A and B are shown apart, each in its own frame.
Chain A
Amino acid sequence: MSDTPSPPPKIMAAKKMRDLMTTYYLEALSAAQNHRQVAWITSGGPVEPLVAMDIIPVYPENHGAMIGSAKMGEDLCAKAEDMGYSGDLCAYARSDIACAVVKGGPIGGLPKPDMLICCNNICGTVLKWYEIQARYFQVPLFIFDTPVCHTGYTPEIAAYVKTQVNEYIAFLEQVSGKKMDPARMNAVGKLSYEGQRLWQQVLNTTAHKPSPMSAFDAFFFLALIVTLRGTQIAVDFYKELIAELEQRIKDGIGVVPDETYRLLWDNLPVWHRLKWLSDRFSAHQACLVADTYTSAWCGALKYMDENNFLDSMAEAYTRIYLNIGVDEMAEEVLKMIRFYDIHGLVMHSNRSCKPYSFGQMDIMRIVREKTGIPVLMIEADMVDPRSFSESQIETRIDAFMEIVKHKAGRS
């Protein structure tokens, strides 16, 4: 233990991604000068029709993650509370509502939207959040309603959601004053499918031992599949990233020096403590090799038909990880535990995200019963640092790692 191993080389694609995201935000911020429209959309919303109609999609949640990472969450959340919003409300919603008013955050606020697209496949909070913003900005709002698939996807759900795809396109045509070009839509659908397929391939690289990247890297590289899904930019970037990760595998470069323990993360990241958490786990030779969160942007690929994207989109967007029953979620977690050869599961009970945190106790029980691996639950918030107790979480991580090491026979 006396020789601290030297840190592995950084993933080079990170710089390129930062540049791509900067370009994207500059384009979005200057949209009005260039006579382009901006739509704010929820992270799990069907973005492809927007891309096909040359409307710039902007994600308040992605912006919320940036606010969290930049450690600007506390002030913005407090500002929203000053405005009368409850501290129990999602921190993405609070920071976005505050940001719209004060133009705060790392990029001085998001560009004003021309329309809002709200899909409730991630939660119910977005409905009220987007209604608030629609009133504030006085712009039209489209709600894409995806019923929760607790026990399966029924023909009734399918018919209901497909109707909305048509209504969605009609809404876009009306607000933009343009007709959708079906050929362009097909091309965007193919690019979206290809981007998601490549993103899954990126995530799959961490099945290798040692893992060439960690879930902390995945949280970062995720930005592109969220914001630029359906574009050639995302496809090209992920191809390049895969090539780099495969080279790291060939060269035997692991992201955690002396990787010994492989962990799975559940729920959103704690954006304001990424480095601290990464360092704490690394100090135990533990690598968070995978997570349920970033996988959500490729998990529905199995329901997608790249040659008939618009028709299959309804099912794919309805059957995402957060919109299914706990048994199916647990099954996904168990699959990941097997695929990535996991020693322990770390669950972030996230004050902000009730739908993600609600079933965790059951998933914990199912995982323990079916695999016997230790499970850690830590309470925090993805953006608001006021819900984080460093010394308590440190003790829990240390105790959890003591159990993981014991079970792996290396204590």
Chain B
Amino acid sequence: MIFAGIDIGSNTAKAALIQDRAIIGVRVIPTGYHHLKAGTRVFEDLLDQTGLSRSDIRAIVSTGYGRASIDFADKAMTEILCHGAGAHFLDPDIRGIIDVGGQDSKAIALDDQGQVDNFAMNDKCAAGTGRFLEVMANALEVSLDQMGEVGLTADHPSKISSICTVFAESEVISMIARQEKRENIIAGIHQAAAARVAILAAKIRIQRPVMMTGGVAKNPGMIAALETQLNQALILSPYCQETGAIGAAVLASRLPA
């Protein structure tokens, strides 16, 4: 039996299909303005990609900020539960999750059964989120993809002290004016964002091993900064960005028939 998960995040829409505890396909597209359209498209693209049709899918769970818009899903569940289920599915030993998403950062604690036991999220402010990195990348005229690599070559990371994204951007602009090296500023940005996320992990006293999920887990500079802040290696999966969608599919498989 095949189950689907659809994760409508603030930046990207993700879909995943699982069958007999195996991932049979994933797909990511930009979310854009219309949540339902994005959800429908990412799901249909994935069906095309895997040569399946709607009737092959036993149940669908939607998640992410746009979860309620997906009217063809059987149930909407929060991304906290879905990232928990997804990480546990990818690696049953995982006890802690760091999910840095577009709009939200989360630290999630799993119990030994893989159930979500506790979580902490960033407050209303965007510091320490993917959005923070995006704003900074813009200010520095680098792409998000380049940003992760460039930061690793820093010789003396700059110190960003502002906690607010808007203030931090002004701080970065004054560093640019002082002609600080771009790689040092970027490393400083990663450390500032990682420090915010580490506070969330400390709030819930996250246990090892910790998996990093969400799109930002593709950024090696951010991973390095987080590993330093958390004083441990992070477990990474090739499916980091799709973990929420995979978890949604896992939870779909547990829905009563």
Taking beta carbons and an 8 Å cutoff, which residues of A are in contact with B?
349, 361, 368, 374-375, 377, 379, 387-389, 391-392, 395-396, 398-399, 402-403, 406
Contact A406 B123 (CB under 8 A): no
Within B199-219, the residues touching A (CB, 8 Å) are 203
Asked if B23 is an interface residue, CB under 8 A from chain A, the answer is: no
Contact A392 B124 (CB under 8 A): yes
- Cβ contacts under 8 Å, A375 to chain B: 118
- Cβ contacts under 8 Å, A368 to chain B: 118
Within B59-96, the residues touching A (CB, 8 Å) are 65, 77-81
A304 to B214 alpha-carbon distance, docked (Å): 56
Name which of A361, A388, A398 has the most chain B CB atoms within 10 A of its CB: A398
Asked if B116 is an interface residue, CB under 8 A from chain A, the answer is: yes
Within B112-153, the residues touching A (CB, 8 Å) are 115-121, 123-124
B81's closest neighbor in chain A, by CB?
A: A402
Contact A379 B115 (CB under 8 A): no
- Cβ contacts under 8 Å, A406 to chain B: 115-116
Asked if B104 is an interface residue, CB under 8 A from chain A, the answer is: yes
- Cβ contacts under 8 Å, B120 to chain A: 377
B83's closest neighbor in chain A, by CB?
A: A399
User: Given that A361-B203, A387-B124, A392-B121 are known contacts, is A399 also in contact with B78, CB under 8 Å in the complex?
Assistant: yes
A395 to B78 alpha-carbon distance, docked (Å): 6
A368's closest neighbor in chain B, by CB?
A: B118
Contact B124 A379 (CB under 8 A): yes
Apart from the given pairs A379-B124, A395-B80, A399-B116, 20 other A-B contacts in the complex at a CB distance below 8 Å? A361-B203, A387-B124, A391-B65, A392-B103, A392-B104, A395-B65, A395-B104, A395-B121, A398-B78, A399-B78, A399-B79, A399-B80, A399-B81, A399-B119, A402-B77, A402-B78, A402-B80, A402-B116, A403-B117, A406-B115
User: Given that A387-B124, A389-B124, A392-B104 are known contacts, is A374 also in contact with B118, CB under 8 Å in the complex?
Assistant: yes
A368 to B203 alpha-carbon distance, docked (Å): 12
B83 to chain A, nearest CB (A): 10
- Cβ contacts under 8 Å, A391 to chain B: 65
- Cβ contacts under 8 Å, B119 to chain A: 399, 403
- Cβ contacts under 8 Å, B203 to chain A: 361
- Cβ contacts under 8 Å, A395 to chain B: 65, 78-80, 104, 121
A377 to B123 alpha-carbon distance, docked (Å): 10
- Cβ contacts under 8 Å, B78 to chain A: 395, 398-399, 402
3 pairs of A and B residues whose beta carbons are closest in the complex: A399-B80, A399-B78, A379-B123
B20 to chain A, nearest CB (A): 23
B152 to chain A, nearest CB (A): 32
A66 to B77 alpha-carbon distance, docked (Å): 35
A315 to chain B, nearest CB (A): 36
A401's closest neighbor in chain B, by CB?
A: B78
A395 to B83 alpha-carbon distance, docked (Å): 13
> Could you pull out 9 A-B pairs where Cβ atoms are within 8 angstroms?
A368-B118, A389-B124, A391-B65, A392-B124, A395-B104, A399-B81, A399-B116, A399-B119, A403-B119
Within B18-65, the residues touching A (CB, 8 Å) are 65
A346 to chain B, nearest CB (A): 14
B179 to chain A, nearest CB (A): 34
A375 to B115 alpha-carbon distance, docked (Å): 15
Contact of B121 among A374, A387, A396, A398 (CB under 8 A): A396
A389 to B123 alpha-carbon distance, docked (Å): 9
A391 to B101 alpha-carbon distance, docked (Å): 15
A387 to B123 alpha-carbon distance, docked (Å): 10
B66's closest neighbor in chain A, by CB?
A: A391
- Cβ contacts under 8 Å, B65 to chain A: 391, 395
A395 to B120 alpha-carbon distance, docked (Å): 12
B108's closest neighbor in chain A, by CB?
A: A399
A395's closest neighbor in chain B, by CB?
A: B78
Name which of A349, A374, A379, A395 has the most chain B CB atoms within 10 A of its CB: A395
A374 to B80 alpha-carbon distance, docked (Å): 14
A374 to B81 alpha-carbon distance, docked (Å): 14
A392 to B122 alpha-carbon distance, docked (Å): 9
A377's closest neighbor in chain B, by CB?
A: B120
- Cβ contacts under 8 Å, A392 to chain B: 103-104, 121, 124
A98 to chain B, nearest CB (A): 23
A398 to B65 alpha-carbon distance, docked (Å): 12
A396's closest neighbor in chain B, by CB?
A: B121
B137 to chain A, nearest CB (A): 23
A402 to B80 alpha-carbon distance, docked (Å): 9
B96 to chain A, nearest CB (A): 15
B75 to chain A, nearest CB (A): 11
B135-174 vs A, Cβ < 8 Å mask (1 yes, 0 no): 0000000000000000000000000000000000000000
- Cβ contacts under 8 Å, B123 to chain A: 349, 379
- Cβ contacts under 8 Å, B118 to chain A: 368, 374-375, 403
- Cβ contacts under 8 Å, A377 to chain B: 120
A389's closest neighbor in chain B, by CB?
A: B124
A13 to B74 alpha-carbon distance, docked (Å): 42
A32 to chain B, nearest CB (A): 43
A243 to chain B, nearest CB (A): 42
- Cβ contacts under 8 Å, A402 to chain B: 77-78, 80-81, 116
- Cβ contacts under 8 Å, B103 to chain A: 392
A389 to B78 alpha-carbon distance, docked (Å): 16
A337 to B118 alpha-carbon distance, docked (Å): 18
B130 to chain A, nearest CB (A): 15
A361 to B121 alpha-carbon distance, docked (Å): 14
- Cβ contacts under 8 Å, A389 to chain B: 124
Contact B116 A403 (CB under 8 A): yes
